[in-house]
Structure 1
Amino acid sequence: MIDVPRRLRRAILLNDLSLVKRIIRNNPTYLRNPDFDDKSNTSLHLAAKHGYILIAEFLIESGHENDLLSRNNDWETPLMLAALAGKEDMGVMLAKRFPECVPYRNKNGLDALMLSCKSGSGTLHLIPTLLNVAPQILTSSDETGNTALHHASAAGELKALRMLLQYGANPLAQNAYSWTPVHYSATPAAEAYFKTLIIEFEKKKAEDAREKKERERQRNAGVRLVTNEETIQGMQVVDDRLRARDDAAIAGLPAPGMDWSPVERRRAMTPTEGRSGWILNADGSRPRAGSGG
């Protein structure tokens, strides 16, 4: 006869809610049921990873998270597994049920927002939910200083890029090696798109600032005509910074105000790369950033 822990895990994997209920009601001590052969993932980890919302809700209502929020050996929460697996509806449910776990990070310093950006999921509901529940994660960074915007860029997730910028992510944020998100662009097309987005949002900021100044002048009864100079300057500053960095990279020189990464002389490591270094092409050049998978 199959033992209770294995039977319960099998029932969850089959998405058999009635069987899960029966097993747990007859064996309440096995509710969390950590799998020591799989990073100590609990029943809720397993349900979250596969997006089985009804089972997850039953586990929670049965007291799965009452004493301690589930985290496996890699410090991952069920929310993190749902985000990484692209189970958006599951992630939204868990973020709303347990908002305190949204800023949690795994052993590599990645939170649910970074994992969602890596997987390319969540642009419809999950990313907005995470940012509304815990706005501070927009500026959070992993072990090497990479923000969610770095991870979205490296993964080539353009929808996530746009959404993060709309919420106010800093496109010029530097990681521990002084690299900005645009340097991790997965393809040349993605890089061009990213730069266009930056200019677009900087233009919007400049326009908003100009309108604010005009309202203040009108309140003070000092109205005057304003040109588009502020807008043009805002666009030009960002464009000049990006152009200087690109020109420096092409020439093989450090960009203004930026030191070279100690682990890579030509371009930045991707946020998802390990410490073993790049595998170079046959001509000795460095491959472009991967998809972050």
Structure 2
Amino acid sequence: DKDNFGMNAVLLASWFGHLRILQILVNIGAKLTCKNKNGLNLLHCAAQRGHIKVMEYITEDLEDVQLDQPDKMGRTPLHLAASHGKLEVVEFLIGSGCTHGLKDKEKNTALHLSARNGHAEVLQKIIETAVELNEKNQEGQIALHLAAEEGHYDCVKLLLEGGSDVNMQTDKSMNALHYAAQHGHEKVAQLLIEAEINTDAVNHHHTTPMHLAVLHN
């Protein structure tokens, strides 16, 4: 039986990190290929919630486990762990050989998601895998744009130090300084200026970062 979210006993055991219950269910022949309404399987549930022991059991003791299986949003366990800041899970998945640069249905990589949500330690780990830092999502945004938009100073700093293109512009010709200025993130803006970002770049409205800073106080 499943609840309103399409979660059955096996998925719930994985979601809440109840390893012993999961093992019992497996031993009595429970179906392990089940998914909830969002397309999350056993590994997705454990990854999103950060249950490393459950993940180790799933990947090492069960058969036919795919590390890069996407959910309905196109997100793999790595996407979910990165988005939710689960560093130990990210390290485990990378060490187990998952694919680092896959994109979800919005063309976001794990790098994008960790940068947007401000998970600096996770971001650092992903950068260390030598992923492409200037990969664009469906809006033409790179991870640097998302970190700047949300005001995540440490993430912006890591991306710049890693070699992210400070002057990369989105499909609407926004650079990272446009985002920082628009949302009032002064420390991030200063960091970008120190990295010699083009302060005179114009977006699709022919607006510079300075104009946006004035408009948004």
* Alignment TM-score > 0.5, same fold: yes
Q: Using a 3 Å threshold, how does the CA distance of structure 1 residues 145 and 65 change in structure 2: closer, same or farther?
A: farther
Per-residue displacement from partner, 1:250-292 (whole Å, max 9, x unpaired)?
xxxxx3xxx525xxx7689xxxxxxxxxxxxxxxx9769xxxx
Residue 35 (structure 2) pairs with residue 34 (structure 1): yes
User: Aligned pairs, how many?
Assistant: 208
In 1, are the aligned partners of 2:11 and 2:35 still within 8 Å (CA)?
no
Output the amino acid matched with 2:129.
V
Once the 2 structures are TM-superposed, how far is the Cα of residue 66 of structure 1 from its aligned partner? Answer: 3.8
Structure ranking higher in helix proportion: 1
Q: Which residue of 2 aligns with 1:16?
A: 18
In 1, are the aligned partners of 2:167 and 2:176 still within 8 Å (CA)?
yes
Q: What is the Cα-based RMSD across aligned positions, in Å?
A: 2.6
Whole-angstrom distance in 2 between the partners of 1:52 and 1:62: 15
Higher-Rg member (1/2): 1
Residue 197 (structure 2) pairs with residue 197 (structure 1): no
Q: Using a 3 Å threshold, how does the CA distance of structure 1 residues 64 and 120 change in structure 2: closer, same or farther?
A: farther
TM-score by length of 2: 0.84
Q: Which runs of 5+ in 1 are unaligned?
A: 202-237, 246-254, 269-284, 289-293
Output the amino acid matched with 1:175.
T
Structure 1 segment 1-293 matched on structure 2, within 5 A = 6-27=8-29, 30-35=31-36, 37=37, 39-63=38-62, 66=65, 69-100=68-99, 102-121=100-119, 123-124=120-121, 126-136=122-132, 138-185=133-180, 187-188=183-184, 190=185, 192-201=186-195, 238=196, 241-242=198-199, 244-245=200-201, 255=202, 260-261=204-205
For the residue of structure 2 that corresponds to 1:135, the secondary structure is coil
In 2, are the aligned partners of 1:173 and 1:180 still within 8 Å (CA)?
yes
In 1, are the aligned partners of 2:68 and 2:77 still within 8 Å (CA)?
no
Whole-angstrom distance in 2 between the partners of 1:171 and 1:90: 29
Output the amino acid matched with 1:173.
M
Once the 2 structures are TM-superposed, how far is the Cα of residue 177 of structure 1 from its aligned partner? Answer: 1.1
For the residue of structure 2 that corresponds to 1:139, the secondary structure is coil
For the residue of structure 2 that corresponds to 1:75, the secondary structure is coil
